[in-house]
Amino acid sequence: MTFLYTLFSLFIITLFIGGILFLIGVRIYNGLVYRKNQVSKSFSSIDVLLKKRWDLIPNLVAVVKNHMEFEQKTLAEITRLRSQVMADDVSEKQRLNLENQISRTVNKVVALIENYPELKSDRHVDQLLASLNETEEQISAARRFYNTAVTDYNNALEMFPTNLFASKMRYQPKNLFVTTAEERNNVNVGGLLN
């Protein structure tokens, strides 16, 4: 009788501990899935904003091309980059690189507009620049969200005990958005205008 009672107690204790471990496991598993989805969500938000910027670029080129006769090379460059980034066979890494180049070229065009008073006073150009500026700031915010989500995800991949689950689930670390050495340097507006 005592043996049966001990066995039953052990069974209950094992069941209780097993239940707790199962719940912890479920929580860790769900947490990892949530973090992975946060990374995807943040990346897709950047995508949406980048597309918004693509839509603004043809307008910018169309508005400024008649005035900026001497900057046709820059305008051709921005159009070329846009076409490249919209091509289907671009890898994620290439795309990030192209997007960074687009950011730099757009900034260059915006800085060049300062040279053309008639453009600066144009209502359409003003509205376009406001939209571009807003989109750039939103892209920057979305990148910051992406980096936070990736840091959170990568931490979970390296920390115990989530790393055990992550390796079983074959989760791989993700790369952060990093600024290039060129972007880290202060913008030389004088250089852009010369």
Partner 1 sequence: MKESMSSEEIDRLYMQGDRCFHQGEFITAVDKFELLLQIIEPGDRLYFNTQRTLVKAYQQNQQLEKAILLCQEIAASGAIGDAMWGQTFLAKLDPDYQKPVATSSDSDETRVETRPKPSLKPKTLAQFKRYCQNNLLGDLQELESKRKYTLASMLISGILCLILAGCFCLGLSNWLRVNTSFEFYLFCLVFPFTAWILFCRSCIQVYGLGFKRNIIENIVNFIDDHGQLEYAAHLFLEDKRRTINSLTRSQILGDALSEPDDLEQEDCIYGRVGDTDLFFAEITAKKIRGGHLDELGMRQSNHESILFQGLFFEAKFAKSFNSRTFVMPNNFKQKLEPLNRWRGELIKLEDPEFERRFRVYGDSQIESRYILSTNLMNRLVEFNKKAKRKVYLSFVDGYVYLAIPYNYNLFEPKLWKNMTSFTPLKEYFQDLQLMIGTVEDLNLNRRIWG
Binding site for partner 1 (CB under 8 A): 42, 45, 123, 126, 129-130, 133-134, 137-138, 140-142, 144-145, 147-148, 152
Instruction: In angstroms, give the least distance from the CB of 28 to partner 1.
Output: 19
Shortest approach of partner 1 to residue 162 CB, angstroms?
A: 17
Total Cβ atoms within 10 A of residue 154: 19
Which residue is it, tokens 């910018």?
60
CB of 179 to partner 1, least distance (A): 13
Complex with partner 1: residue 123 or 170, whichever CB lies closer: 123
CB of 127 vs partner 1, minimal distance in Å? 8
- Classified as helix, coil or strand, 110 is helix
Cβ–Cβ contacts within 10 Å for residue 108, how many?
19
CA–CA gap between residue 56 and residue 59 (Å, rounded): 5
Is the Cβ of residue 14 or residue 155 nearer to partner 1 in the bound state?
155
Cβ nearer to partner 1, comparing 97 with 147: 147
H-helix or E-strand spanning residue 137: helix 123-158
Query: Which one, 35 or 82, has the nearer CB to partner 1?
Result: 35
Determine the Cα angle at 65 with ends 63 and 69, to 5°: 145
